[in-house]
Amino acid sequence: MNSTSIFIGIAGASASGKSLLAQTIHQELQAELGTGAISIIKEDSYYKERGDLSFEQRGQINYDHPSAFDHHLLIEHLDALINQQAVQIPVYDYTVHNRSDHSKTLIPTRVIIVEGILLLNDKAIRKRLDTKVFMDTDLDICLLRRLKRDIEERGRTVDSVIEQYKRTVRPMFMEFVQPSKQYADIIVPRGGKNRVVIEMLKARIKQMLE
């Protein structure tokens, strides 16, 4: 890749530990490489804008299907970053199932981590990633984590989380997310606290930077 940035993709089931792994590497590498050396892009930021639908209609969307995401915009932004151009990343508001009116400026950094459930399902995104990681976490653990996160952080009820899990999250995992594991360079068991993988990824990134 003819870029001065390195792109690391982290995929896997919802609540499998993608964000924790990304944040841990971000925090630890930034301490070593310096402030502004590494950044994170969340695939969730690229949920499609749904201002044409009511809140109730937006609540019925299958957010675990590839069609829920504006991957074309994500790819545009990755290409801009590859060419060392800043981008405006949408800000998604989970409480209203839609993008907010705000965006976030991302200036190209030496390392860019992209994390999301369906990154490895998309061939065009895979092509733009230097290293592809898949979080292979037990689905029962993912459900428990998702319950805790969605209730505490996203204003959901227990019933709504379980209903959505049965209706879309698990079926879409089986159809789209799980099969994408075959494209990973690194498969991570035991979630985002796996120190062996954290150290291995940090060493790999530093080697690529050299």
pLDDT in tens, 31-51: 999 988 999 999 999 999 999
User: Residue 155 belongs to a domain with what CATH number?
Assistant: 3.40.50.300
Give domain status of residue 1, yes or no: no
Per 3-state DSSP, what percentage of the chain is helix, strand, and coil (rounded to 5)?
50, 20, 30
Spatial distance between the Cα atoms of 77 and 180, rounded to a whole number of angstroms: 22
Total Cβ atoms within 10 A of residue 116: 27
Q: Which domain holds residue 76?
A: 6-209
Residue 192: φ, ψ to 5°: -80, 0
Residue 155 lies in a domain: yes
Tell me if 97 is assigned to some domain. Answer: yes
What would the pLDDT profile of 159-201 be if each residue is shown by its tens digit?
A: 989 998 999 999 999 999 999 999 999 999 988 888 999 999 9
Q: At what angle do helices 195-209 and 18-33 cross, to 10 degrees?
A: 50
What domain count does the chain have? 1
